[in-house]
């Protein structure tokens, strides 16, 4: 009788020990989970990608009208205007092929070429309302922004193209644009590009590269890359 009683007590002790061990293990897991949860925001700030804002304003060569483009997609009317870029320019000829008396031979046609040229216009910040503010006073923690233009200095349409922007962020970020609509001769687009997660204080370099894959044959490939420096203070 006593042996059975002792065995029952020992069995109860074993159950209590196992329950306490399970509770302790759960407490350890809970503590680790809470620690990881608290650490997540810090990990996100270090490893997260920079947020990039891009807007554009289109200046056609044959009009003073401009088109604002917050999401970098032109409206249908402007797209129709752009489609004219692939049509031959100039007035139609009335020449039937018969030579006129005393008329000189027609001058040879000028060579056709595309020349996309980039130029940085201003540097500054994006304010709380998401508007660009040109300023030389940039502080760490601001959303840095800059404006640059791309113009076709050639005499034929460029065809679709893209650009890249190397941004001084943590982690390093190369912004790649969507495909841009063709630019006719003297057509121009002004871009505003803003970003956060600035790398550090001091002079920070920004690089823009138009047609980085050289998919467009241009008369001058040396004016596709532009650089600017933003001075960031604490």
Neighbouring CB atoms inside 10 A of 122's CB total: 16
Kindly state the helix (H) or strand (E) to which residue 57 belongs, with its residue range.
strand 52-59
Residue 225 has pLDDT above 70, yes or no: yes
Q: What is the pLDDT of residues 165-213, one digit of tens each?
A: 999 999 989 999 999 999 999 999 999 999 999 999 999 999 999 999 9
pTM, entire model: 0.62
The token pair at 71 is: 């999401």
> Do 169 and 57 have their domain in common?
yes
Q: How far apart are CA 156 and CA 153, in angstroms?
A: 9
Same domain as 127, residue 27: no
Same domain? For 143 and 62 the reply is yes
Order the strands of the 188-195 sheet from edge to edge. 67-69, 52-59, 188-195, 143-152, 116-126, 132-134
Q: Are residues 29 and 120 in the same domain?
A: no
Does residue 139 have a pLDDT over 90?
Answer: yes
Whether residue 36 is found in the same domain as residue 65: no
DSSP secondary structure string for all residues of 109-128: PPPP-B-EEEEEEEEEEE-T
- Average pLDDT (98-103) is 40
- The sign one gets for the Cα dihedral 69, 72, 73, 79 is positive
Dihedrals phi, psi of 84, to nearest 5 degrees: -70, -15
Any domain includes 25: yes
Write down the pLDDT at residue 49: 77
132: which residues sit within 8 A by CB, 6+ positions away? Answer: 122, 124, 125, 126, 145, 147, 192, 194
Torsion of CA 191, 197, 202, 205, to 10 degrees: -40
**Integer Cα distance of 98 and 88 in angstroms:** 23
| 126/210 same-domain check | yes
- Is the pLDDT assigned to residue 48 strictly greater than 60? no
Q: Over range 68-92, report the average pLDDT.
A: 35
Q: Is 107 domain-assigned?
A: no
Asked if residue 88 belongs to a domain, the reply is no
2 alpha-carbon distance from chain centroid: 82
Cβ–Cβ < 8 Å for 228, 123: yes
Residue 228 lies in a domain: yes
Residue 132: its H or E element: strand 132-134
- Identify the CATH number of the domain in which residue 196 sits: 2.60.40.10
Query: Same structural domain for residues 68 and 129?
Result: yes
Range of the domain at 4: 1-47
Query: Rounded mean pLDDT of the chain?
Result: 74
Domain total in the chain: 2
For residue 3, tell me if it sits in a domain. yes
């Amino acid at each position: 009788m006593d042996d059975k009683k002792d065995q029952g007590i020992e069995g109860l002790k074993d159950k209590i020990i196992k329950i306490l061990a399970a509770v302790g293990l759960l407490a350890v897991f809970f503590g680790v989970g809470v620690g990881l949860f608290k650490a997540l925001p810090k990990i996100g700030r270090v490893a997260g990608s920079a947020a990039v804002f891009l807007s554009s304003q289109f200046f056609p060569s044959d009009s003073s009208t401009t088109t604002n483009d917050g999401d970098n997609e032109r409206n249908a009317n402007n797209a129709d205007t752009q489609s004219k870029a692939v049509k031959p320019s100039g007035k139609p000829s009335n020449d039937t092929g018969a030579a006129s008396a005393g008329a000189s031979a027609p001058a040879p046609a000028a060579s056709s070429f595309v020349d996309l040229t980039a130029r940085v216009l201003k540097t500054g910040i994006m304010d709380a309302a998401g508007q660009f503010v040109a300023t030389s006073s940039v502080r760490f923690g601001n959303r840095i922004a800059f404006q640059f233009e791309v113009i076709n200095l050639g005499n034929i349409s460029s065809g679709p193209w893209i650009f890249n922007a190397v941004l001084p962020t943590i982690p390093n970020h190369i912004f790649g644009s969507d495909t841009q609509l063709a630019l006719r001769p003297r057509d121009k687009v002004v871009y505003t590009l803003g970003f956060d997660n600035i790398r550090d204080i001091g002079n920070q370099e920004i690089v823009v590269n138009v047609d980085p894959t050289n998919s467009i044959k241009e008369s001058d490939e040396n004016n596709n890359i532009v650089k600017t420096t933003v001075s960031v203070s604490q």
